[in-house]
Amino acid sequence: MAVSMRSTSVPRWRSDSSAVDDLAAGALVTRYVLIADRSVSMQVLRELSGRVTPIPTCIVIVDAGVGSGFGGLDELLTEARIGWRFVVAGPEHMVGAVRARLIAAGAVPAEIAEIIHPDASVRDVFCAHCHTTSPSVPVAVGGRTPCGGCSAELTVYYHYSRRHSTYLGYRADSEELP
């Protein structure tokens, strides 16, 4: 049975900078925070910054692959006020993790624009069996990968948790088990 992409929770991330334009619609924006990882070029950051001129802009570079990696972002969020808008650019697993962190800090989805690399195929996968999250797995949705916790061969399902920024993985042989 085929999966209907209209009925899944897989995010429909945008890969162009026009996602920023939707943030300002009908709102008094007092500051833009551009959040990116090191894979985003300075040229892209300058283009994004240019789209929001003359609004004050702050750029935060995160390193989601190492430890918490969100130190600068967490400090900035303690100063966040109504009217701030957030633009998150980078690979899908980083964008999802930063988005979840922004929501947990009190931002609402309408205040966040996500821009991912169109060729990103690295995902965080949550194992439904041992409850371990395998970070930065190079796998397509619908593909298979070993679990980092229990080593079971997982099928990466078309279910994405925005809260945890992970895809659901279940044992590939679960339908054949007694």
Any idea which residue has 């070029």 for tokens? 41
Most confident of 69-78, 88-97, 117-126: 88-97
Q: Which strands, in side-by-side order, build the sheet including 31-37?
A: 57-62, 31-37, 84-90, 112-116
* 5/55 Cα distance (integer angstroms): 37
pLDDT digits (tens, 9 = 90+) for 116-130: 876 567 889 999 999
List all residues 6 or more positions away from 71 whose beta carbon is below 8 Å from its beta carbon: none
Q: Which pLDDT does position 1 carry in this prediction?
A: 47
Kindly report the pTM of this predicted structure.
0.76
Average pLDDT of the residues of the chain: 83
Q: Where would I find the beta strands (DSSP E) of 49-161?
A: 57-62, 84-90, 112-116, 122-127, 133-138, 144-146, 153-161
Q: Which pLDDT does position 54 carry in this prediction?
A: 83
